[in-house]
Structure 1
């Protein structure tokens, strides 16, 4: 009987151990879908597949001591070097902050740690915030709605939502880069057009009155300084979100000639006078320039007009129109300028809750597609919306999903969407300062990849298998090699020491 009892205890112990090592989080909790790491190995691996049976699963594999004769070998070519990476992340909108603040402190800290920690999470390293309101704010506002730049001041939305959340994130990841973008200037600075110059008291459309170029440049300086005083450094700005879009709930039209004049003669001098080194990224809109022929190559036209200041780092793009190949065209025309991808969204129009569709397409087109076309960073739209796609504004996007969606009935249950995973698969292994490097060998239209050399002496590879079959892939850096069975319709990230 004693032997039988011991066997039963041993069986129960093995069963519980097996359950603990194989369990994973469901979509409806706050654990992030991680499983415990398997025993230590030479290579750290993260895997997500379209059916979520591998949900950002973390595992390891050892280097092989055998000769590598595999025909499916991807060879790293570190001597071939491309752009240096700044980071990957999401927009921390007013709506995102509102939803996060509705969570319990414990759940919020857990989620933010899983998202932003470089040691205990995905390591998101870039965030975009609005300068004033966006179409995902709690109201329409700017930081100077009373005429006169002396009336500048942060609002309750910044003070009660955005700043507290950013402080919590920075406590988790102090190296987070923050990009600021305005959706509109204060209404008292607007005119109907640059010919009539009639006052235009509307949140939507209008143009910046040239008489207020200096005041608006001061507005940027004051905004950067106000956040810096709160312990929130601003790494970069764009002069205008979607400058060719007149129709957003808060918007401002700013053609390339206007942006050139405002940035060159007003914004750059104002930043320098205030001893600010904040980077400026031009444009911040679609690949196809909203089909406005006179706005084609928007940032290049600004460069060619004589924009040569070091503060103007490059240009930013969205993907709501046109194709990512435009990034290569702009790089070829201005190879010394940087490129940044700053917005994309999922929603009801593109089957945004169907991970089996979106994981593959978003990884190929947004994450790897922009990085392989010279972008230094990739930022998706709202980090978190609620289960009713909000809070949102009339006239803004009311059909958008977040990178994650939180259940409005309890502000606890979280659904993780494609954008959360595609950023996480990059940020978990590709660290700020990494250099994208070349690869050779195995090539297949169903596989998309990017390779990097991190500053800490590690290599990183992010690989997409869009085929319906698994494939044994070998990675070889010239010193070490290893093989891993890449599941069908999956994304896999690798990191290992040289």
Structure 2
């Protein structure tokens, strides 16, 4: 991730949000914790968050209507129209996030992790992203093989002391949480300045992977997955390279689609197959607009054209620091057999307000990418401290976490990302199918519907207008109405 992407994004959004910010009295970093679910019995589980923070994941009892539904403002669910299967929703447990969590009192941390990850009594976060080696949110720069020679591979202290203990605590709460792992760089001894001169490139920032080390780097992934499994941690998926077109991050590696294609088909894919690893391989993991690099447009589509590479690939990951979510639909239509994942978005000092980001992130990243075929939505740092860290010089030094924690490591501010992911994870369970809808539509009203594996229905809805909207939802047997407040997000879940 790189700050200039966000600055461009902010410029585009300022005109849209500025009036709303002043009217709504945007978040000042003092938002209370989510309201407890309450003991009311109801037919429908309904949770509401408003941009003015008067409702923060408030549970509202809602009953089925006893009358015939005649409302013209009805949205009808159509479970016979099925789209993608959902994998889950969550945030990145970077080295920094895990460091901050372990600074908390054990009982406070246990309470927060249960609230976040418990699939029954908590928010039910179900997907985590971690880095393979260092990221720009680590305590230092490192890989697992900084001494030349793949035989020198070993997990390092930052993982052993911070990341792995937190992952184990989370898995004890929810053993079904999926984990995606992404490298920010290969070991420096595998880097060259370019693929023509192939001179050694002794830098954490930029450089390219020397093709002479493709086999060693493939074994680096294999050894990592095996080492984590030995710790009791299953890596569900890997992305081949975080932001492969970003040369400027504090820890980074430039990798064109041609390089990624060749690495997968000649080394990584065969290495996974030969060692019996079933971890999913995800390509790209960068912006919708391919950083406007002319010969890198349609990055995943170009890789898929090579059958020898495509056979090993599950799908592609995307970030939202540049371009538009409509690119997801283009990639899906070109290769509908491949999956799509939304893998990163951050908030920070570049114009954040709770109100503005709650609306933008839900419309563009959450509902927006899901309605364009993503299987998962993962935001960036789960927890950062009051100084936006720990972070690495040259990386993002102005980012916020989904949660920011004060220097007492007890007082927390839950930012918009915590709530938007919670609205998804609480009601849309792993294995849910996105289903069709018909009926009422309006500008500023966004929604998506799902059928969960247990037979329950779920709907995520956003009212991004300045007035309440009374909407009736119907599954063909039951219907109910709720007046969704202005500038609000709602999650519904009910049994047939």
The residue correspondences of 1:35-434 to structure 2 (distance < 5 A) are 35-307=36-308, 309-349=310-350, 351-352=351-352, 354-407=353-406, 409-434=407-432
Computing the radius of gyration from Cα coordinates, the structure with the larger value is 1
1:448-491: CA deviations, max 9, x gaps?
00000000010000000011111211100001001112111110
Q: Match for residue 464 of structure 1?
A: 462
Which SS does the other structure have where 1:428 is aligned?
helix
Contact kept, 8 Å, 1:462 with 1:493, in 2: the verdict is yes
The 2-side partners of 1:258 and 1:100 are apart by: 37
The 2-side partners of 1:450 and 1:185 are apart by: 39
Which SS does the other structure have where 2:387 is aligned?
coil
TM-score between both structures, scaled by the size of structure 2: 0.93
Which SS does the other structure have where 2:107 is aligned?
helix
Contact kept, 8 Å, 2:29 with 2:415, in 1: the verdict is no
Which SS does the other structure have where 1:241 is aligned?
coil
The 2-side partners of 1:417 and 1:147 are apart by: 42
Q: Match for residue 24 of structure 2?
A: none
Contact kept, 8 Å, 2:328 with 2:369, in 1: the verdict is yes
The 1-side partners of 2:311 and 2:191 are apart by: 29
TM-score between both structures, scaled by the size of structure 1: 0.93
Q: Match for residue 18 of structure 2?
A: none
Query: 1:305 deviation in Å?
Result: 2.3
Q: Match for residue 10 of structure 1?
A: none
Contact kept, 8 Å, 2:269 with 2:309, in 1: the verdict is no
Query: 1:148 deviation in Å?
Result: 0.4
1:250-303: CA deviations, max 9, x gaps?
000110110001011100111111111000010001111111111010011011
Say if 1:56 and 1:307 are closer, same or farther in 2 by CA, change over 3 A: farther
Q: Match for residue 3 of structure 2?
A: none
**Residue number among 475, 485, 488 corresponding to 1:487 in the alignment:** 485
The 2-side partners of 1:60 and 1:223 are apart by: 47
The 2-side partners of 1:424 and 1:228 are apart by: 28
Q: Match for residue 451 of structure 1?
A: 449
Which SS does the other structure have where 1:335 is aligned?
coil
Gaps of 5+ in 1: 1-25
Q: Match for residue 478 of structure 1?
A: 476
Let me know the Cα RMSD of the aligned residues: 1.2
Query: 1:307 deviation in Å?
Result: 4.1
Query: 1:229 deviation in Å?
Result: 0.6
The 2-side partners of 1:231 and 1:311 are apart by: 25
Which SS does the other structure have where 2:121 is aligned?
coil
Contact kept, 8 Å, 1:28 with 1:413, in 2: the verdict is no
Contact kept, 8 Å, 1:277 with 1:311, in 2: the verdict is no
Query: 1:424 deviation in Å?
Result: 0.5
Gaps of 5+ in 2: 1-27
